[in-house]
Structure 1
Amino acid sequence: MAQSGFNDQDKDFEWSEMLRSFYFRGRLVLARLWWVIVLCLAIGISIQWFKQSQRKPVYQSNAQMVIDGQVTIPEGARYQEVFLNFFGTQIKLMNSQQVKERAEQRVAALHPELKPVYVHVSVLQSVDASAFDLSAVGEEPKYVSAYLDAVMHEFLAYKEERRNQTTEKFFLTIMEKVLEKQAEIEDLEEQKLNFQRSNNIVFITEQGNNAGSYLAELNNQRAGLRTEIRILNSMGHEKDTNLDALTESKLSSLDNGYERAKRQVEQLRAERDEFAIYMKPAHPKIRRLNQEIERQANLLNIFRRQTLGQLEDRRKQLEAELVNLDAIIADWEIKALKFSTLLAEFGRLNSRLESAKAVHARLLASIDSIDITQNTHQETISILEYASVAYPVVMDKNKQIALGALMGLMMGSGILAMVSMLDTRIVSAEDIGARYTPPVLGVIPLQQQKKGARLQLLQPGDDRVMFAESCRNIRSSLLFMDLDGKRPQMIVLTSSVPAEGKSTLASNLGITLAFAQSRTLLVDADLRRGRIHTEFDITVTPGLAELIEDPSLTLEDVTIQTETENLHVIPCGDYPERPGELLLSKRFEELLALMRSRYDYVIFDCPPVLATDDTPSFATKADAVIFMVRSNYTRSGQIKSSLDILELRGVQVDGFVLNFVDTRQPSHYYYYNRYNDYYNYRAKKKDPVKDKAKFSAS
């Protein structure tokens, strides 16, 4: 849950940063091209003023129409005014092309002496009443008034015609439906009469009822026969030479002799069992009882076979009766189905006939209501005030100026938006990170100073806290830059075009390295327009050009110790005729080796890449190349071209430094507002009395 909330916060922050970035870019474009807005405002106002000055005088006439309220119509009438979107519908009708054409024809017929002109009619709903306010504007005053009156009259006439056409069309449709239903009723009545002629409905109804009752009785009989046959089928199956209980019961009920023989056998067995207690099985009396028991058992078998034969005959008789009964039921089912089919057909004819008569009655009622509606005045809108005498319309100067200014502002904003979209100037570190692979080593904030004044170099305890911290940040990036396991010693500073602040950065970077107790040498390698000597207010000669050209000069002869401890400077010297060849000479390579042996860091202020070929050739000898970019000045195309040139020489840029960054842009504004007190804590002078009072209050 906590992680989810963190992501949502980041998302909101990115949106706010994006909006701030758009706003900041818009301010930059507006600050640079503010005159475009002023020019577009002037053009828009001028065009609008010229259009109004060339326009012919126009006249306006006003009128009003009112809604009369609810219409009372006789009971049973079906007319109803539709009030859903009523006002909007009426306004559309008044402004319709049909009404306009009819109004023009009416004016031409009633006032042939008037010259037709274009008239603009506007209709508005009254705010405090159920009425319409109409106004007409045109160049001819009399024609304008006549045209507005004609619009109101033709609007009412057009509505009446539309209503009559709708009513007449509806009436004709209803009459057509009435005739269709009447023909349908006659046809159904003819079919019903023919059916009754062919079939006796009373007889069919009575026969259908009788057939149903008789079929129910026959089905009951069939069910009884099937039950008895099922019982007989289950009788007579022997199990261990004994009859089942159902067969035994049936035998006992059919023949009394069987029952007597059965009791005699049981009695003899009882006597035998009694004598067997004290007599042997071979005793004559027991043998006589066994013979008697056997004789009675044979008699029982005879009774059983006779009875089973009777049952089998009975079952066959019942099956024959069931077959005969099934045939009779099938015949009667056909008869019953025939009767029910005839009755259903007759019922369907009756139902269709009654339905058609009901629809026919409703259609006749609708015709009656239409007749009542046609005789009723149905118009709910009437003319309250006819067109007034047309009066001249005075041009509202303030409105025209405001309209022209709005048009100019929109045009200027569009131009600035297009320019902003096409502008490829680098504004923030995010722009560099989005376009190029090398990292941004640092960002130098814009320092406010008087026009033409030189930016002062860093001093110990400098009050320009953000500026000093930015230079230290670049120094730290260099100190901890791991190039093949070692720190860069010989560092080249360059840019794509002049005036990007690389000389100032080279000077302040050298100072910050010297502050870190590193022996630092700052070399002005721009032999065409070097200006390191102006930064430190030193002589320009002898310098690097003389050191390379004159073998008698040593490194100590041209090296100048600055006011900053551990920082030495070699100016560019007198501008030579062929500076590019000097930087490629063997003498310069020997000097580079000597510089590397005597100093911890050697910083070269080189010319812009796109201005000369000096830097791409010399940069191959450096340990690190820092590329300077000026915010809101350097274009991305210039940087890309410079990087391509360096890459062709086998030089990879190790990082960017963004200079002249406005602290009001989103990325700087965010941190500056939050940590400004922290940066400036040392610069603030403490008041012991106030501090003590604050401590006591807390």
Structure 2
Amino acid sequence: MEQRNEQIPTNQTTGTEFLTIEDFLDSVRRWKWIIISSTVLAFTVSYIYYYYQPNVYLSTVRLLYGKTTQEVSLFSGNFGSNQSRALGNELELIRSRQFGELVVTAMAESLRVNPALARFPLFSTIQGTGNPYSVLGTVLLNRNATSPRALDIINISFMSSDPEEAAIIANILANVYIVNDLTNNRTTQSIVKNFIKTQLDEKAQDLRKSENDIQTYMVQSGIVTVSSESQNVVSNIASLEARINESRLQIGIFEEEIRIAREQLKTLQPSSSVEFSGYSDSYIRILQQKIAETESRRDIQRATLDTAAPAAKAEMERLEREAKNLRELLEKRIEESIQSELPGSNTMELVRQNQNKIAVGTVSIVIENFKIEKLQTLLADYEKRFQAIPTKNVEYARLERARRSAEELYLILEKKYQEAIISELQINTNIKVIDLAIPDFVAVEPQRARMVSLLTVLGLLVGLGLSIGLKKMDNRIHKLDDLEKLNIQILGQVPVDEERLATGNLIKDISAIVQEMHRQISININYILNRKGRENGLFLLTTSTIPQEGKTFTGILMAGSLADLGYKVLLIDGDLRRPTVDKHLPIRKFPGLTELILNGDLSGVQKVESFHSATFDVIASGTIPVSPVPLISSEEFMSHINKFRAQYDYIIMDAPPSLSVGDVYIYAEHADGLIYVSGAELVNKRDFIRQYRTIANRFGPKVLGVVLNKVRKNHLSSQGNYYYYYSSNQK
């Protein structure tokens, strides 16, 4: 061992310290009961909790989402730029509270139709409360909608404590979704149909009034007919008026469709006000004019010619085909213009359709107005002929004209109303059912084995975390590594003596491994102090930070070890406050150090046999004084110490702990060396560093180093483990 240098401890533990595997295993060993308790508690609580949890069953309806790539449901009030976003909007629709309200209403209706459903929990609640909204929260919590990635599939599922109820409500969810989708798809056509129905009812009243008026006039006047020429004029005028009113009705329909389309556009594109602006397109204007002229000729022929005649019928069919072809060209042109005008190449289909309806409707209104203008021009000519009817027949002709006009318009409206009904019924839902929900009697929750396993593992991790946390918060000294980090001279380590007896003689009670380690410590101290060649003996102190760290234990065993090495040793119990040397050796407590200082009584010097039959002398504490400081500060005390230096090679004094009292500082002023004993896991590093630094700063080279006492076997350094191995092989 090289000659030591003075070393002052530095607190190197303030930085970040990484937990080593050794530290981790040590924390597991030290706090294993915390880990075991945490794990067992987690297992027990989770097992009891999930054991009493009711089973939950899941049923799912699979639907095919059949809308176009960029179309979305109007009911959802949102849109997406692609199929994924459209599907996402539909899923949010199904998860919405508004949809949930429709579902509970449908559940109540199903219960009314089939009272047997009351045997299921949710239906029973509806029946008991009489309010379907009493289960709304449960329905919202247990329903779900998902869509597999890259597939146009919607899975609507429901969870319930009853597998049959789960299947029934899942099917109700799907049915409500399909019905709403169908309703939304028919929205525009339903509004148009209702508009026509309103007009039809009004014209039916007009027709009945006209018929009553002419019947009354015929009875009162006796006139029941007019000339064939007058009849022809009245018939033509009535037909022209019916066609004019038909065009006005058509304008009303177009205006209603435009209004609906604009409302839908506001929903789809709230921040956009872009509309078709290609009405000035020359090609569109030409088509408008041709359609108006063609349909005007068709309507005039209907009104003025015998459409049953072959030639007239053929001409009518030709004009119908021509008008149809022209309208197809017009709609195609408008669609192309809209596609080029609206920003982006991925314009939504539904937006495009509504823009197209607005454009076609606007252009068609212009056409209808043109037709009205043409028909009114012809009607003006027939009005002149009507004025030429004889005066006596004018009133009858007027009433007949009103009746025929109302009758023709009523027939036109009736035809259009029937067409609207058929058109509405032809519009179907975009959703198709792939699989209806069926009861699945395998519970999806609670997943008892999985959850108990997970929570047990969580309990284990919590226990490990607590043990690591306690390890990190533990600021005590455990092993030599902790002292080495503090840059402190180390004299040796001593394990916890698991084989120690209890006869009252520490020299005889101690195990061979502990004896050997103290012998090595004594050799180290002897080498450091270079005892050879010295005339006087060396005065050594043993102290610690706090009581119970083993300083007395170390002093006694060092005395025995040095005696076995052939040195004359005197052990003095210098702790005059709480003396303990006499408790560990077979010696008398009185007389002792107190009597020696006060009276010069040397009868207290007693001999004790060491490990291997050598002996060393011991002076107990004697009587405990009221205040030890005057005694140990006296010249008498130092006089006796100096005398002992001439008689012994080593005088070892067991001094009080440094944190408790200041006696050790008085002793250290006259000592040749100080041995600082630290008990493993007994003192925290802050107190140890503060006290050791104070002593080292004051007494410098006198501080020989630290003996780490009561070290756990698993914390011993390699040298200590070798001693254990060697000792076990000697037995």
Q: CA deviation at 1:603?
A: 1.3
TM-score, L = length of structure 1: 0.53
Q: CA deviation at 1:676?
A: 7.0
Aligned residue in 2 for 1:628: 677
Q: CA deviation at 1:593?
A: 0.4
Aligned residue in 2 for 1:19: 20
Aligned residue in 2 for 1:99: 95
* Pair 1:425 & 2:476 matched: yes
How do 1:231-310 and structure 2 match up within 5 A?
none
Aligned residues: 477
The equivalent position to 2:57 in structure 1, one of 57, 60, 68, is 60
Q: Could you tell me whether the CA contact under 8 Å between 2:518 and 2:558 is conserved in 1?
A: no
In structure 2, how many angstroms separate the alpha carbons of the residues matched to 1:37 and 1:21?
Answer: 17
Q: Secondary structure at the match of 1:421?
A: helix
In structure 1, how many angstroms separate the alpha carbons of the residues matched to 2:105 and 2:551?
Answer: 86
Per-residue deviation, residues 392-434 of structure 1 (Å, max 9, x unmatched): 9986766675566456545544444443332211112232233
Percent identity over the alignment is 16
Q: Secondary structure at the match of 1:577?
A: coil
Q: CA deviation at 1:93?
A: 6.2
Unaligned runs of 5+ in 2: 1-15, 73-81, 112-125, 127-133, 188-260, 284-335, 354-425
Aligned residue in 2 for 1:468: 516
Q: Could you tell me whether the CA contact under 8 Å between 1:121 and 1:134 is conserved in 2?
A: yes
Q: CA deviation at 1:658?
A: 1.0
Q: Secondary structure at the match of 2:491?
A: strand
Aligned residue in 2 for 1:680: 726
Q: Secondary structure at the match of 1:386?
A: coil
Aligned residue in 1 for 2:495: 445
Per-residue deviation, residues 359-414 of structure 1 (Å, max 9, x unmatched): 9798599999969x989999687440226499999867666755664565455444
Residues 404, 634 of structure 1: alpha-carbon distance in 2 compared, 3 angstrom cutoff: same
Q: Secondary structure at the match of 1:448?
A: coil
In structure 2, how many angstroms separate the alpha carbons of the residues matched to 1:22 and 1:368?
Answer: 64
Q: Secondary structure at the match of 1:642?
A: helix
Q: Secondary structure at the match of 2:485?
A: helix
How do 1:357-506 and structure 2 match up within 5 A?
363=340, 382-386=433-437, 388=439, 402=453, 405=456, 408-435=459-486, 438-449=488-499, 457=507, 464=513, 468-469=516-517, 471-473=519-521, 475-481=523-529, 489-506=538-555
Unaligned runs of 5+ in 1: 1-14, 187-358, 686-698
Residues 586, 450 of structure 1: alpha-carbon distance in 2 compared, 3 angstrom cutoff: closer
Q: Could you tell me whether the CA contact under 8 Å between 1:104 and 1:147 is conserved in 2?
A: no
In structure 2, how many angstroms separate the alpha carbons of the residues matched to 1:389 and 1:682?
Answer: 67
Q: Could you tell me whether the CA contact under 8 Å between 1:145 and 1:390 is conserved in 2?
A: no
The equivalent position to 1:668 in structure 2, one of 704, 717, 721, is 717
Residues 390, 111 of structure 1: alpha-carbon distance in 2 compared, 3 angstrom cutoff: farther
Per-residue deviation, residues 328-354 of structure 1 (Å, max 9, x unmatched): xxxxxxxxxxxxxxxxxxxxxxxxxxx
The equivalent position to 1:136 in structure 2, one of 158, 163, 170, is 158
Kindly provide the amino acid, as one letter, of the partner of residue 706 in structure 2. Answer: F
In structure 2, how many angstroms separate the alpha carbons of the residues matched to 1:105 and 1:623?
Answer: 93
In structure 1, how many angstroms separate the alpha carbons of the residues matched to 2:498 and 2:152?
Answer: 66
The equivalent position to 2:640 in structure 1, one of 591, 598, 615, is 591
Q: Could you tell me whether the CA contact under 8 Å between 1:545 and 1:576 is conserved in 2?
A: yes
In structure 1, how many angstroms separate the alpha carbons of the residues matched to 2:645 and 2:22?
Answer: 44
Q: CA deviation at 1:639?
A: 1.7
In structure 1, how many angstroms separate the alpha carbons of the residues matched to 2:55 and 2:437?
Answer: 20
In structure 2, how many angstroms separate the alpha carbons of the residues matched to 1:410 and 1:562?
Answer: 51
Residues 488, 410 of structure 1: alpha-carbon distance in 2 compared, 3 angstrom cutoff: farther
In structure 1, how many angstroms separate the alpha carbons of the residues matched to 2:168 and 2:99?
Answer: 9
How do 1:168-183 and structure 2 match up within 5 A?
none
Per-residue deviation, residues 583-617 of structure 1 (Å, max 9, x unmatched): 22322111110111222222112222233443233
Aligned residue in 2 for 1:301: none
Q: Which moved more, 1:143-152 or 1:468-477?
A: 143-152
In structure 1, how many angstroms separate the alpha carbons of the residues matched to 2:428 and 2:529?
Answer: 97
Aligned residue in 2 for 1:526: 575
Bigger radius of gyration: 1
Kindly provide the amino acid, as one letter, of the partner of residue 101 in structure 2. Answer: Q
Aligned residue in 2 for 1:656: 706
In structure 2, how many angstroms separate the alpha carbons of the residues matched to 1:478 and 1:151?
Answer: 92
Residues 517, 181 of structure 1: alpha-carbon distance in 2 compared, 3 angstrom cutoff: farther
Q: Could you tell me whether the CA contact under 8 Å between 2:609 and 2:616 is conserved in 1?
A: yes
Q: Could you tell me whether the CA contact under 8 Å between 1:103 and 1:147 is conserved in 2?
A: no
Q: Could you tell me whether the CA contact under 8 Å between 1:152 and 1:383 is conserved in 2?
A: no
Aligned residue in 1 for 2:421: none
Kindly provide the amino acid, as one letter, of the partner of residue 101 in structure 1. Answer: R
Aligned residue in 1 for 2:170: 148
Kindly provide the amino acid, as one letter, of the partner of residue 103 in structure 2. Answer: V
Residues 438, 558 of structure 1: alpha-carbon distance in 2 compared, 3 angstrom cutoff: same
Aligned residue in 1 for 2:379: none
Per-residue deviation, residues 212-242 of structure 1 (Å, max 9, x unmatched): xxxxxxxxxxxxxxxxxxxxxxxxxxxxxxx
In structure 2, how many angstroms separate the alpha carbons of the residues matched to 1:474 and 1:89?
Answer: 86
Residues 401, 500 of structure 1: alpha-carbon distance in 2 compared, 3 angstrom cutoff: same
Residues 548, 488 of structure 1: alpha-carbon distance in 2 compared, 3 angstrom cutoff: closer
Kindly provide the amino acid, as one letter, of the partner of residue 159 in structure 2. Answer: V
Q: Could you tell me whether the CA contact under 8 Å between 2:576 and 2:625 is conserved in 1?
A: no
Residues 428, 103 of structure 1: alpha-carbon distance in 2 compared, 3 angstrom cutoff: same
Kindly provide the amino acid, as one letter, of the partner of residue 106 in structure 2. Answer: L
Q: Could you tell me whether the CA contact under 8 Å between 1:518 and 1:566 is conserved in 2?
A: no
Q: Could you tell me whether the CA contact under 8 Å between 1:494 and 1:628 is conserved in 2?
A: yes
Once superposed, what is the RMSD of the aligned Cα atoms?
A: 5.8
Residues 368, 19 of structure 1: alpha-carbon distance in 2 compared, 3 angstrom cutoff: closer
Q: Could you tell me whether the CA contact under 8 Å between 1:522 and 1:567 is conserved in 2?
A: no
Q: Could you tell me whether the CA contact under 8 Å between 2:540 and 2:673 is conserved in 1?
A: yes
In structure 2, how many angstroms separate the alpha carbons of the residues matched to 1:668 and 1:378?
Answer: 81
Residues 489, 130 of structure 1: alpha-carbon distance in 2 compared, 3 angstrom cutoff: farther
Kindly provide the amino acid, as one letter, of the partner of residue 680 in structure 1. Answer: Y
Residues 38, 156 of structure 1: alpha-carbon distance in 2 compared, 3 angstrom cutoff: farther
Q: Could you tell me whether the CA contact under 8 Å between 2:476 and 2:684 is conserved in 1?
A: yes
Q: Secondary structure at the match of 2:541?
A: strand
The equivalent position to 2:657 in structure 1, one of 569, 588, 608, is 608
Aligned residue in 2 for 1:111: 107
In structure 2, how many angstroms separate the alpha carbons of the residues matched to 1:176 and 1:563?
Answer: 106
Q: Could you tell me whether the CA contact under 8 Å between 2:156 and 2:173 is conserved in 1?
A: no
Q: Could you tell me whether the CA contact under 8 Å between 2:589 and 2:620 is conserved in 1?
A: yes
Q: Secondary structure at the match of 1:680?
A: helix
Residues 569, 552 of structure 1: alpha-carbon distance in 2 compared, 3 angstrom cutoff: closer
Q: CA deviation at 1:637?
A: 3.4
TM-score, L = length of structure 2: 0.51
In structure 1, how many angstroms separate the alpha carbons of the residues matched to 2:518 and 2:714?
Answer: 16
